[in-house]
Structure 1
Amino acid sequence: MKHFYRAIGILGFVTVLGGISPAIPAESAPILIVQNPAEDLFNSALAKSEAGDIQGAIADYTEAIRLNPNYAKAYNKRGIIQGRHLKDYPAAKADFDRAIEINPNYGDAYYNRARVREFLEDKPGAIADYHKAAELYQKDGNTNDYQDAIKHLQMLQE
């Protein structure tokens, strides 16, 4: 029986549910495009944010998060908009908290949460987050962000 299947494979046939069909030559096989709706929405949100469509960006980030509840980057970006544009610091902090919960090594989320904690007048929390962000940036070799986090950390510690 093994030889039967091998012979069929050589002749360019494959078995399909017990039947035999011609095999599709590799050069004419369709290209499989894997769609990732959450990633598409994330990219759409980035474009909307850059174009100044803040509400559209938030809607797209929120939908991306609905599709992928563990999408740390979407939480982080939505948190930036919540804080920077809407001045909703508690909502921004909640998004950064969730991004960090999903990815405890996400330096940008610590940095952004530190900024929000400054606005919320949580100096000890901001110091802790800048310290953690600096540590992660240094570990990743991200010199510019490391230096920025250290600068903010030093200003808070004066």
Structure 2
Amino acid sequence: MNRIVQAYFKEGIEYCRKEAFEKAIPLFDKVLSHEPEHIDTLYNRAKARFKLKQLEASISDFDQLIELQPRHALFYSERGVAHYLAGNMTSALSDLDKTVELEPQKPFRYSSRAFIKERAGDLKGAIADYEKAISLDPEDAISLNNKGLIEEKMGHLEKSKKSFAGADALDPAHKATDQPKKEDISNDPIRYKPKPPVEGNKVNVKSYLNTLTALITSKEEQKMFIDFLKNFGRTQK
């Protein structure tokens, strides 16, 4: 990368850090006109487009990144979120399937896919993924809790009680002091999981991602999953 092109890249990164994404994208375009396969630039443009809710454009950048680095699980994960928010449920699940294939020993890959499966109506598949996440990390209270929510939805009340009890035992700080009444379930910090907020016919990206990342128990894993929203300019390996 020559000095002029490098200057475009650095300026784009600075705009991203200031959340001026609409100013960053044209600078990344200039870099890519000289070096169309520059990973860091493609990645940061994908992030900037995502932040501006330009989901199809962001997906296009992730398509190119995956073509260049087909075994990078993070790219599939982030493209999967973009697909979900764009209403492409089948593509979202396909991407999350790939993350599981690439990183089968990471429990949050299963719990993240379970979250999407539940919204696709595959409740049995979601439970299976939560169970796999729990088998890999027996102290995963959030997966236990979310499994209980689905079991409750399916009418498996005894199973759900067992899952909730296990979650409470692992994470007593979040245990409700009183069992909420049915109409007050939204006040329960453990058993209430909001649906993705909607603006008209569109999902609110920030609120949805806050909900999605709540599935991930480890701070390190949370950072991996939402890295592209926070760490603009970080070099990809």
TM tier, shorter chain? 0.5 to 0.7
Alignment partners' CA distance in 2, 1:133 and 1:42? 28
Distance 1:107 1:45 in 2: 26
TM-score for both structures, normalised by structure 1: 0.63
What pairs up with 1:67-106 in 2 under 5 angstroms? Answer: 67-83=68-84, 85-106=85-106
Larger Rg: 1
1:66 aligned residue: 67
> For the residues of structure 2 that align with 1:62 and 1:51, how far apart are their CA atoms?
18
Counterpart amino acid of residue 87 in structure 2: K
Q: Deviations over 1:85-120 (max 9, x none)?
A: 122211111101111111112333322211221123
1:26 is aligned to none
2:53 corresponds to 1:52: yes
- What is the CA deviation profile of residues 52-76 of structure 1, one whole-angstrom value per residue up to 9, with x for unaligned ones? 2212211111110010111111101
Q: Conserved in 1, the CA contact under 8 Å of 2:55 and 2:83?
A: no
Give runs of aligned pairs for residues 13-52 of structure 1, distance below 5 A: 37-52=38-53
Q: Distance in 2 between matches of 1:154 and 1:53?
A: 35
Contact 2:71 2:102 in 1 (8 A): yes
Closer/same/farther in 2, CA of residues 133 and 51 from structure 1, 3 Å limit: farther
Which of 125, 149, 154 is matched with 1:155 structurally? 149
Answering whether residue 107 of structure 2 is matched by residue 107 of structure 1, we say yes
- Percent identical across equivalent pairs? 28
- 2:94 maps to amino acid: A
Whole-angstrom distance in 1 between the partners of 2:39 and 2:133:
26
CA 1:82–1:154 in structure 2 vs 1: closer, same or farther (change >3 Å)?
same
Structure 2 CA distance for aligned equivalents of residues 56 and 80 of structure 1: 13
Unaligned runs of 5+ in 1: 1-35
Distance 1:57 1:111 in 2: 24
**Alpha-carbon distance in 2 for matches of 1:59, 1:107:** 28
Aligned to 1:120: 120
Q: Which amino acid aligns with 1:148?
A: I
Following TM superposition, by how much is the alpha carbon of 1:77 offset from its aligned partner in structure 2, in angstroms?
A: 0.8
RMSD, aligned α-carbons? 2.3
How far residue 39 of structure 1 moved from its aligned partner, in angstroms, is: 4.5
Q: TM-score, normalised by structure 2?
A: 0.44
- CA 120–66 in structure 1, closer or farther in 2 if over 3 Å, else same: same
Higher RCO (Cα < 8 Å, 6 or more apart):
2
1:80·1:112 contact (CA, 8 Å) conserved in 2?
no
* 2:77/2:95 contact within 8 Å kept: yes
Q: Deviations over 1:3-38 (max 9, x none)?
A: xxxxxxxxxxxxxxxxxxxxxxxxxxxxxxxxx833
Aligned partner of residue 87 in structure 1, secondary structure = coil
CA contact (8 A) 1:115 1:126 kept: yes
Q: Deviations for 1:133-155, whole angstroms, at most 9, x for unmatched residues?
A: 3444x47xxx8xx3332221110
Work out the number of aligned pairs and report it.
116
Structure 2's unaligned 5+ residue stretches are: 1-36, 153-237
